[in-house]
Structure 1
């Protein structure tokens, strides 16, 4: 190894020699920033792994971290950011965990008089800046992905398809009906029609806040999809206010059966199957 190569690696050697002290102070600074929301033991595990990944990169140009040499550290920071999203941390707190290592690196060279060592410290600082910004972006991507996953899960939970009688399915809708939700309703309803062999499907809109032209179109699409599967569709939950709105908007439901309540819709479906519901007097 040449003298120049040894000189170029001085910061790396300093960091490696003082690993324990650097990580301890780094963890302490981050723990103070997080105000007890992460234990020092947890931070030590994460920071030690990150330190071991960053250490070999100390002598590299960090202005572009998209290359294969930075693949491992990018993967680590991506998972680290995702765990911080689930832990309720902010993107600034997450990125600061990377940025705060700069202070400890500069502390190692602040009393030195070697300009090459100081230049390498500046380059290392630039590398940490790039990694910190990448962490911030990874946090934002992970948060958007988690929000999207949670939205999809919530959408599944708020659009149940239930079997309420032999051959009769019901879809109780609550809230706002939009294109994305209509698609979920269609898919789940059609799957259940095939799975159960039901011939009647009741779409109950008692919990739908308002019905406009767009909502009506979504309902009609769902009804048509069910009919193509050979099932009769009944729309229930037509309250007086919604009936007035439908008339005022000139919305035509055509030959679709509509009922005021889910009970009325179920009674209609049972009668179509030759089943009469009779109130029995209690003696």
Structure 2
């Protein structure tokens, strides 16, 4: 007989990195927050579990235990086909996750993911009636007809495969799924870049289109990042803002800024843009978007103006 969830040992980095399973459950503390984290796509190797390290950091910053369920889609089918240990299609997987939630008995449930994992975070967040969803760069649909209409060709092969061989249950339009739900929707946060991805063929960032489609569901907060492309989580890591963002949204916890000090190259950029007539306030906001602290951004612009 497998051990009860409340008897499971704590996960560690080695277990998370080397596991061959599609779902892992961390040490359970009933009554505490539960975060279900969904992994992103990987074509070259099996997808990794995602957000484990960030959630451990959030535990340290908050002083609170976080129950964790880590899920990945080894088939890269946007969580519509087999998830070993959970189900063969979304409704079956949702039923298994619902049973885990009942056994864990958390105080609150949050789903989180990026890209493919963001689609899952939204889909299962809606199906499970969780309290909060964090979706980084999600698609809003998997319908190939809509994809062609919006010139969304990035994962068209996956969409066509699902349409040609549909699973026993499926949700190819998250906006429609959200609008069909009865009762209150989760508190949904859509975090996305608005800069066209380098090397792409589009003059706009398609993630922004998906974000605004999702906002039509209601109860969505949009978090646009103008200097990020699709990989908005990496942008937030590079600019040292990911930990503060997670703490603020998930825990309502304010953390001190981690941003960098303004470098010599950026001082030259500030001086040149002031010479060209850019408003100081605009330059401060641009610096902050690139990960510099508010205080150091204000000081650098003030120094350039003196």
TM over 0.5: no
**Larger Rg over CA atoms:** 1
Query: TM-score, normalised on structure 1?
Result: 0.29
* TM superposition score normalised by structure 2: 0.28
Between Structure 1 and Structure 2, the one with more helix by share is: 1
